Structure 1
């Protein structure tokens, strides 16, 4: 089959770790990022595809490189229009490329599945149903009366779906749990590409018509996406299918959508991880910085999340309300909802150490055999001190070999770049001096990644 990873969303309820330009699927919430875990889990199913936003291209490609995953097909959406346009475009592309008879599995990038064998068993069962023309959803067997998920009602005697239910009240959720015929809707679907496209043609003719304009080389993707409505695949297709068209395969796979800090706590506590130092306190939890000591005195049931530029404390059971913090910060125009002090780039990464009105300092790493763009700055000079690795600096077309301990001064207006000529990471500290330190004070003369 063709496993497709849908990688979108902003994960505002996991702020301050998850941010708009570094959403939760890329955050190392557990031993690895959720997207890495998803890619590893799905790569055994078949040739991987990823559908994600163009703004996440650098993070996505860096993630694939870290996992040494090659020949992964990608579709970069120019603008987020929810899951229905993403699935319609995917189906159109596959059919256009002669893969209409292939079974496709669509999986969110930001869910945690701890029982992989149960996942594989459910997918294999769903694949058999999809081969016969059904559209199949994986239903998560509920273990408590959750009010934050939609539910799928399945026929007792078959895999047929009787009805989708919106997020219920607690009383209704308890009835769903007691019945045994209701399953959480986790947004995982399996289908033949051509069958899904036919459903769009029948149930969403406007979306189908827009998707059919897509050229095989995706050269008009921007134009196509501009016409799409913003609608989920559930509303557009799934909830409109008859019981004969839609099936549900139940799965008990230790699943979590990791939709809040309470959900993170549940997983981490279940792994028996060491907690903070507690004096006359209990059941406190920290997601903090490595090497930093945390202690609680006289407090209970607190969640503390600590990053380089923000700290958040919330009472257990109330972490869904963290999104309100994000809403307030957005109204204030704060960059804290968008960016971290670190940023990944196609060639490597940097982390801001200090950002003042008279200087700015960073730690910058450049990947093996990579180089930054050949560039200049009109408002700042830079001092580079190499701390690890070796390579060469090009300064106004002069090539200067560098290694750990080397120092290079880059005057205002000078053309410059650093090139890693080795198979190891090169690291250096950059200190900027001038009148403006914004990332937009860059003129690029040559760039391996075609940035302007």
Structure 2
């Protein structure tokens, strides 16, 4: 099938705090066996190359996932600032127009959704893609509801639960309903969840932009072929969802729906995620005495005990703990809103950071020293750099590496140490086929990540 997956990966996932944070959002977190971003790209790799649209601040996370899993990605489009889904999809269309791919059939998918029945998913995509290619319609996947959900929008279709054999007419979009309305929708059988998955021919979507959102398209038309003026164009572009901008303004036969039952979840709350995590190593972390129905998102190698309580969810990270009653997790967003005022760092960053060469975790951060454990992946190297306000001690605790110190090579193996004087040029290179880990202790007057001068970098950072 000639389908180009377009993966939207700009969300912040605030409802899954404290695991999901603005600089490390839920699509990159290991919420299940693998990060959702990885699972999405795996699910779609059968269609060949893909295009990813994401925020510039997720560049290291995105490229790290692509490199680690050898994904076939044609292009990553980095938005300089979030401008909602209409701008993102318009940007993809403009990029594909520049590439001469107006006849391309593209499908839009979120990077942070879970799909359990992949066979049914691909069957639905096959019908939707053929419909988009032959009729020119924009084709939405409608997800069969299994409970009266008030947190999703709904698509009302003409034919009752026809499955994935053919596309059906869309009668109306419905906003998130009341509990009573959600029950009515479930019983009617002609209302389906809007999962934000849709398929279209690029030329037809461009025509919809020209007709329905000419201001957005006119701005995108000013993009240079190499997208070098994207920052300038994007800062003033309209902030609106593709649903409001385009989809809800279309009528049949321009808009069709393929209804399906694919085990879809947006994992938009701790309640929905804990349901999917049942059985994932819960027993070894969770001791319950005179207690029942309590769930844990655990820190590794840590035991949690419940006494005399029920229906609780505990979400633990190195620097924040969430205790929430089941069916109340939508209110986690209120916690995040408060923290943005009182302690914004807790909503933005973890004590660890992923980098294109590996990862580091802060062990201790004091006024007079800072310590980290740093992992450099196989075949990777950190930038050749210096620090103006600190010196560093490195001790290798796993593997072997070469340290470059003021242009001299120093081989190190497990248990060996090197001192990096303040202002010295240095880097560590891992030429082996296994990760290298070392403990770094910083001493000096300032330990911020911005105290760095790069002289050479394999990842294009300045």
Instruction: Classify the TM-score, shorter chain.
Output: over 0.9
> Which residue of the partner structure matches residue 152 of structure 1?
155
The superposition leaves residues 322-365 of structure 1 with CA deviations (integer Å, 9 ceiling, x where unpaired) of 01111111011431100011101112111111111221110111
Give distance in 1, aligned partners of 2:92 and 2:219.
13
> Which residue of the partner structure matches residue 163 of structure 2?
none
> Which residue of the partner structure matches residue 232 of structure 1?
241
Bigger shift: 279-288 or 406-415?
406-415
Q: Residue 291 of structure 1 aligns to a residue in which SS?
A: coil
Give distance in 2, aligned partners of 1:448 and 1:266.
42
The TM-score normalised by the length of structure 1 is: 0.97
> Which residue of the partner structure matches residue 207 of structure 1?
216
1:272 CA displacement: 9.2
> Which residue of the partner structure matches residue 47 of structure 1?
49
Q: Aligned Cα RMSD in Å?
A: 1.4
Change (3 A) 1:171 1:327: same
> Which residue of the partner structure matches residue 354 of structure 2?
344
Q: Residue 232 of structure 2 aligns to a residue in which SS?
A: helix
Give distance in 2, aligned partners of 1:151 and 1:94.
30
1:70 CA displacement: 3.7
Give distance in 2, aligned partners of 1:72 and 1:273.
39
What is the aligned residue count?
452
Give distance in 2, aligned partners of 1:398 and 1:324.
53
Partner of residue 247 from structure 1, selected from 253, 256, 259: 256
Mapping for residues 7-22 of structure 1, pairs under 5 Å: 7-22=9-24
Q: Residue 61 of structure 2 aligns to a residue in which SS?
A: helix
Judge conservation of contact 2:158–2:171 (CA < 8 Å) in 1.
yes
1:404 CA displacement: 1.0
Mapping for residues 410-449 of structure 1, pairs under 5 Å: 410-449=420-459
> Which residue of the partner structure matches residue 198 of structure 1?
207
Bigger shift: 205-214 or 54-63?
205-214
1:297 to 2:307 alignment: yes
1:375 CA displacement: 1.6
The TM-score normalised by the length of structure 2 is: 0.95
Give distance in 1, aligned partners of 2:266 and 2:35.
13
> Which residue of the partner structure matches residue 357 of structure 1?
367
> Which residue of the partner structure matches residue 137 of structure 1?
140
1:271 CA displacement: 7.1
Bigger shift: 14-23 or 342-351?
342-351
1:329 to 2:331 alignment: no
Judge conservation of contact 2:404–2:410 (CA < 8 Å) in 1.
yes
1:405 CA displacement: 1.4
Give distance in 1, aligned partners of 2:12 and 2:198.
22
Give distance in 1, aligned partners of 2:209 and 2:7.
20
Partner of residue 93 from structure 1, selected from 92, 95, 101: 95
1:283 CA displacement: 0.2
Give distance in 2, aligned partners of 1:424 and 1:179.
56
Give distance in 2, aligned partners of 1:136 and 1:65.
32
Give distance in 2, aligned partners of 1:342 and 1:247.
45
Judge conservation of contact 2:148–2:186 (CA < 8 Å) in 1.
yes
The superposition leaves residues 391-431 of structure 1 with CA deviations (integer Å, 9 ceiling, x where unpaired) of 21111222211111110011222221111122221111001
Give distance in 1, aligned partners of 2:454 and 2:48.
40
Give distance in 1, aligned partners of 2:29 and 2:415.
32
1:373 to 2:376 alignment: no
Mapping for residues 19-168 of structure 1, pairs under 5 Å: 19-131=21-133, 132-156=135-159, 159-168=168-177
Q: Which runs of 5+ in 1 are unaligned?
A: none
> Which residue of the partner structure matches residue 179 of structure 1?
188
Give distance in 2, aligned partners of 1:71 and 1:287.
32
1:448 CA displacement: 2.1
Give distance in 1, aligned partners of 2:35 and 2:426.
34
> Which residue of the partner structure matches residue 323 of structure 2?
313
Give distance in 1, aligned partners of 2:37 and 2:460.
26
Mapping for residues 381-420 of structure 1, pairs under 5 Å: 381-420=391-430
The superposition leaves residues 165-210 of structure 1 with CA deviations (integer Å, 9 ceiling, x where unpaired) of 0001011111111111100000001000111001001111111111
> Which residue of the partner structure matches residue 256 of structure 1?
265
Q: Residue 237 of structure 2 aligns to a residue in which SS?
A: coil
Q: Residue 104 of structure 1 aligns to a residue in which SS?
A: strand
The superposition leaves residues 53-94 of structure 1 with CA deviations (integer Å, 9 ceiling, x where unpaired) of 111010000011121214442111111100001111111211
Give distance in 1, aligned partners of 2:306 and 2:156.
44
> Which residue of the partner structure matches residue 278 of structure 1?
288
